[in-house]
């Protein structure tokens, strides 16, 4: 058994060196274009019908693009000093019952959100865009309406975080 462990270590080390040497990277570990040092992320447009969701989605995008360990870009104080601007539109947010008891009692619902985003350089060139990015999350329906609303909000938070990661990863993977 000890001999097997000694054999595994060099093999694992060799595999890691090989993957690093061939340029393999995990998603989102790519580079921003060298021309983007400051990015402006204004409040997203909300066409969803869910009040205030644009703030949640915008804040998650800002977080993803400014985490010190991930990006070299800084958040611009205004669009005038930015090298690029990320704009977006939150499209429809729909809710559907996915499990129920009998005809009238919902047990679980799925919330689905759609987002379109574009990153444009200061000279007007589209650097990256995505149309109708869609994600969903299931949540529990409770007999308590406040608990159900809290569960729906938590599901929307999860969707927002995943979409922000997807946009950041998609933008940096291209460069």
Query: Is residue 121 very low, low, confident or very high in pLDDT (cuts 50, 70, 90)?
Result: very high
| Residue 163 falls inside a structural domain | yes
The whole domain housing 80 covers 31-173
Q: Considering only CA atoms, which of 123, 121, 129, 128 is closest in space to residue 39? A: 121
Which pLDDT belongs to residue 35?
78
| Residue 15 falls inside a structural domain | no
Spatial distance between the Cα atoms of 48 and 95, rounded to a whole number of angstroms: 12
CATH number at residue 106: 3.30.160.150
Q: Which of helix, strand or coil describes residue 118?
A: strand
| Residue 25 falls inside a structural domain | no
Q: What is the pLDDT of residues 17-56, one digit of tens each?
A: 555 544 444 444 556 677 788 889 999 999 999 999 999 9
Which pLDDT belongs to residue 27?
46
Which pLDDT belongs to residue 6?
56
If one counts every other C-beta atom within 10 angstroms of the C-beta of residue 147, the result is 12
pTM of the model: 0.77
| Residue 126 falls inside a structural domain | yes
Region 100-128: mean pLDDT is 91
| Residue 68 falls inside a structural domain | yes
| Residue 3 falls inside a structural domain | no
Q: How many domains, the chain?
A: 1
Q: List, in sequence order, every residue forming a beta bridge with 85; answer none if it has no partner.
A: 40, 120
| Residue 16 falls inside a structural domain | no
Spatial distance between the Cα atoms of 61 and 163, rounded to a whole number of angstroms: 8
Region 84-105: mean pLDDT is 91
| Residue 7 falls inside a structural domain | no
């Amino acid at each position: 058994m000890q001999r097997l462990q000694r054999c595994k270590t060099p093999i694992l080390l060799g595999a890691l060196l090989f993957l690093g040497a061939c340029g393999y990277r995990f998603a989102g570990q790519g580079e921003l274009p060298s021309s983007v040092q400051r990015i402006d992320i204004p409040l997203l447009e909300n066409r969803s019908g869910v009040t205030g969701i644009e703030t949640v989605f915008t804040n998650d995008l800002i977080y993803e693009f400014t985490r010190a360990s991930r990006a070299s870009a800084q958040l611009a104080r205004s669009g005038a000093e930015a090298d690029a601007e990320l704009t977006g539109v939150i499209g429809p947010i729909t809710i559907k019952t996915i499990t129920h008891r009998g005809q009238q009692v919902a047990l679980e619902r799925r919330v689905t959100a759609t987002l379109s985003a574009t990153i444009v350089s200061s000279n007007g060139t589209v650097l990256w865009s995505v149309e109708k990015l869609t994600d969903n999350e299931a949540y529990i329906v409770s007999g308590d309406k406040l608990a159900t609303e809290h569960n729906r909000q938590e599901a929307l938070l999860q969707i927002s975080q995943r979409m922000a990661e997807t946009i950041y990863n998609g933008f940096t993977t291209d460069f």
